[in-house]
Structure 1
């Protein structure tokens, strides 16, 4: 079972994992991002508002998705990350690569 919601917004797709973004959820999300990119949907926003924990598997899925999207002329953005997720991003310096947007709307308006 996947633990994320998906909304196709036309020019971009919003994926919203929930709960723990870990080894259980990360492979399915990464595979979905790769499927989207392969089908031509290369602007992907990951809404993290409902994620209360992220581990290295979740970070790996985000970085892998970012790489895939950028190699195909798109981008992957993250938005609405909570305190734990922001702390992990900062600790790993991934906040420099995956610049977190405060809200989904902010991320979409910047595109």
Structure 2
């Protein structure tokens, strides 16, 4: 069986000293979750504790991706910040709903809404 190439893109946009938007695209699974975890940990270590994840280009997420979200949420909150989810497609939103993640991290329809929530959370 040929090796599957990992398919995850993460673009980081620094909004200010405490806020970053990470645009996540492709597939967030066991093979790629570590990459996103690393990006999120890097932002937290740089003092950006309000993290917005733009999920509009994310096609798939499994339990490994969910674990990254939950760990990052706890890390951000311990640092006095928070994690905000924005624009998940219907498949990703369904996974978030089924697993109950939406009760802890309610998704926003647009990045602008998540940024507004982050600004209000300071």
TM class, shorter-chain normalised?
Answer: over 0.9
> Could you give the per-residue CA deviations for residues 66-87 of structure 1, whole angstroms, max 9, x where no partner exists?
1111000111110000011111
The structure 1 segments of at least 4 consecutive aligned residues displaced by more than 4 Å after TM superposition are none
| 1:45 alignment partner in structure 2 | 52
What TM-score comes out, normalization by structure 1 length? 0.93
RMSD over aligned Cα atoms: 1.3
* 1:3 and 1:25 in contact (8 A); partners too: no
Answer yes or no: is 1:96 the counterpart of 2:109: no
Q: How does 1:64-103 map to 2 (within 5 A)?
A: 64-103=71-110
Structure 1 unaligned segments of length 5 or more: list them: none
User: How many pairs were matched up?
Assistant: 111
* 1:45 and 1:78 in contact (8 A); partners too: yes
CA distance in 2, matches of 1:78, 1:94: 10
* 1:5 and 1:17 in contact (8 A); partners too: yes
| 1:9 alignment partner in structure 2 | 15
Give the superposition deviation at 1:33.
Answer: 1.1
Q: Which one has the largest radius of gyration?
A: 2
CA distance in 1, matches of 2:109, 2:72: 20
SS at match of 1:99: coil
Structure 2 unaligned segments of length 5 or more: list them: 1-5
